[in-house]
Structures are given as structure tokens and as C-alpha cells.
Structure 1
């Protein structure tokens, strides 16, 4: 990725944070959901980070795809280092929250439904809530993950409302379109994504944790 591309992505994320801060705050007011300031900040950064949809995908033996949550969970259990385990659990929680909140329609043809993502994501955040409590930053993050775990269902509803008013969610299955573009490089699919407000960006894939 070039320096120009990196700078453009950073500007996009900064603008996105401003938009999502207002959108999340309004959705929480509408739904009477209360949350700590740090938790709201986490949600804003989560949406701003994953506005580049390719960040949801991972490189797997079967190709570039949305990695199954069960596999992420198994990798977390087998991780040799606590830091690696925490990163995998955070990835699991983040992806589960985004899919359940923004892209639940993409689960209609899957073997698992939205309740599975809610259960897995809530459990992952709950586990994280008890880790790394030995420092001030660790206690702050622990409190954020604990709140995300306890109110996971409520936050999926908040993200769903945000998504309905933004290009992140649509009656068109964005995730499916992105999968097709990743696998085929189809110009028509890329044009459809752009019309939905998603810019397909070629990148070197691999698991990335915000």
C-alpha cells in the first residue's frame, strides 16, 4: 500500500469517526441505551476501522473469506501467548458485533443465524473483560469489553439503526458483493459496490486487529 493510499485511508477514517459518533449517539438516544464514554468511543472506532470492508476478511486455506467464528475461537484457545489470545478474541467479538448489527441479512443462507453471532461475540468480549486488569489501560479496556458483553444484543440494535442510515447496510448483500469482487475482480461488481458507498481496495490480506 502506497503512502498516498495510507493517507487517504486515514482521512476517510477521520471523517467516518465524526459521522459515526453522531450516528451512534443518536441511535442510543432513540433506543434508550446507556453506555460509558469509552465504550461509545470503541464503537465509533470499530465502525470507522471496518468501513474498509476488506478488513472483515482473512486469508484462509480456502481463499479470502470471512473466517468462521468457531475457528477464531479455537485459535484463541490454542494461542501460546496471552497477547495473541486477546487479539483473536477481540477480532472474534468485533466481527460478530458487526455482522450481527450491520449484515444480519447475509446470514439468511448460512448454517448459523444471528443468535449464534450474538452468543459468540458476547462470550469473547466477556472473556476479554477479565484479562489484562493489571494496568490502568487494562482496567479501562476491561470495563469496555465487559459492557460490550453484557449489552451485546442492545449494541447490535444500535449498529443496525446506524447501518440503516448509512451505506454500510443495504437490502443488497454488501458482504456477498465484496466476496465476489475479491474472488473475481469483476469491474461490474466493483461499480455496484461504489454505488453503495464502498470503495473496493486491493490489499494484502491477513488478520488485522484494530
Structure 2
């Protein structure tokens, strides 16, 4: 059970993230539901505690791979436990895909992997969860856009080095995402016409 100070910390951190998410969401059309922004703020605050991200598995403290969480969800008999595991899978896919994409891209794991795993988990929850079905449905339908929102909200104020800018450029080149283009331009990068890239 969390201590009073831990609960206060998470509450304050959740409010901080919610304010930033609400400000960042103004640029999205359509704007995400308020419930979804609250969910994302709580998710980020919860993962502010590394114990919510890491687990002790086979004698090591590590982040359980998304594919193994998916396997766990498929193999579990209880509908309730399946939903819990899939929520953890969706939340981790969103968090890791938004905050640490470069760590995974070095291992050949791209953005599409996080979108597929997280979007699929939230899609199931949108149809089968006891609570928050509308939130999970929106997270499933708009996973890529909300992943970018979380990345932008958590990345503000962070100095980008040349490697970060190159990775951002690569993501823009692969997706053509106008928000990534705007972020690159704000960093002073002159972008070629996307049709001219091969």
C-alpha cells in the first residue's frame, strides 16, 4: 500500500502531467476526451515510481517484454486478469514508445511495434474492460497520435543532441507526421519535400 507521501507525490505529479497534456492537446484535431487526458496524466504519474515499470523476473530487475505480457494475457484463464495484463501492456507500450523509442530502435524495434501492441491491448479493453471503455477505445483508435502527445509533453525542456535530432528526423521521414516536421523546424532543421525522399 502506498504511503501518504507517495500518494501525495503521485497526485501532484499527475496534476502536473494533466496540465501539460491539456495544453498539448489543444493542437490535436479532434481534441482527446478529457477522461483520456486524465488517464494519461495518471499513467505518467504512476510510472514516475520505477517500481511500476520494472518487475523482478528470473532473478533480475527488468521491464517485462511486451511480447511476454501479451503471451501472459493469452494464456491466463481469468477474464479479469487478462484485462489487468492487457492494461499493463498498453500502458507500458505507450510509456516506453513515447519516452524511450531510441533505446528500442537500436535493437530493431520500431514505433509500429509499440503502436501494434499497445493499440491492440487497448482495443480489447475498449470492448471488454469493466471501466473506462471509452478511454481505452480512444487510446486504441488514436494510439500513434497520443504516443506523440506524451512524447512531446515529456520531452519539453529536454536538450536534444545530434543523435536525438537524427532519430526524430528518421521518424518523420518514415511517417511524414506534420507534428514531427514542426518539431524539427523549431530546432532549425530545413526539411526536404517528403515526396523527394527515397
Fold shared, TM-score > 0.5 on shorter chain: yes
Give unpaired runs (5+ residues) of structure 1. 133-137, 172-210
TM-score (norm 1): 0.70
Q: Distance in 1 between matches of 2:122 and 2:81?
A: 15
**How far apart are residue 66 of structure 1 and its match?**
0.9
- Cα displacement string for residues 109-145 of structure 1 (whole angstroms, at most 9, x for unaligned residues): 224222101110000000111104xxxxx3x511111
Match of residue 128 from structure 1: 125
Q: Distance in 2 between matches of 1:11 and 1:166?
A: 24
Correspondent of 2:96 among 96, 99, 120: 99
Q: Distance in 1 between matches of 2:122 and 2:160?
A: 27
Match of residue 56 from structure 1: 53
Match of residue 148 from structure 1: 139
Q: Distance in 2 between matches of 1:127 and 1:142?
A: 9
The list of structure 1 runs, each at least 4 consecutive aligned residues, that deviate by more than 6 angstroms after superposition, is: none
Closer, same or farther: CA 44–126 of 1 in aligned 2, 3 Å: same
Aligned pairs for 1:42-81 (under 5 A) are: 42-61=39-58, 63-81=60-78
Give unpaired runs (5+ residues) of structure 2. 162-198
Report the secondary structure of 1:64's partner residue: strand
Which gives a bigger RCO, structure 1 or 2 (Cα 8 Å, sep 6+)? Answer: 1
- Cα displacement string for residues 1-52 of structure 1 (whole angstroms, at most 9, x for unaligned residues): 8xxx722211211111221111001111134451222111111111111111
Correspondent of 2:156 among 155, 158, 165: 165
- Between the two proteins, the alignment pairs up a number of residues equal to 161
1:109 matches 2:100: no
Match of residue 18 from structure 1: 15
Q: Distance in 2 between matches of 1:158 and 1:33?
A: 13
Structure 1 window deviating more from structure 2 (58-67 vs 86-95): it is 58-67
Closer, same or farther: CA 158–38 of 1 in aligned 2, 3 Å: same
TM-score (norm 2): 0.74
Match of residue 169 from structure 2: none
Q: Does the aligned pair in 2 maintain the 1:33–1:154 contact within 8 Å?
A: no
Aligned-residue CA RMSD in angstroms? 2.1
